Amino acid sequence: MSVVTLKRWNISMGAGQPLAVIAGLNVLENVDLALEVGRQLKAITAELGLPYVFKASFDKANRSSITSYRGPGLKDGLAMLAEIKAKLDVPIATDIHEVDQAEPVAAVADLVQIPAFLCRQTDLIVAASRATAAAGGWLHVKKAQFIAPWDCKNIVHKAREAAPDLQIVLCERGASFGYNNLVVDMLGIAQMQSLGVPVTIDATHAVQLPGADPRTAGGSTGGRREGVPIIAKAAVAAGADGVFLEFHPEPDKALCDGPSCLPLSDAAGLLRTLKALHGVVRG
Residues marked active site are found at 26, 60, 257
Secondary structure tally for the chain: helices H, strands E: 9, 15
* Residues 282, 238 contacting (CB under 8 angstroms): no
Task: Return the exposure string of 13-27: e unless at least 16 CB atoms fall within 10 Å of the residue's CB, then b.
Answer: bbeebbbbbbbbbbb
Coil, strand or helix at 282: helix
* Residues 184, 172 contacting (CB under 8 angstroms): yes
Residue 94, classified by CB atoms within 10 Å of its CB into exposed (0-12), middle (13-18) or buried (19+), is buried
- Percentages helix, strand, coil for the chain (3-state, rounded to 5) are 45, 20, 35
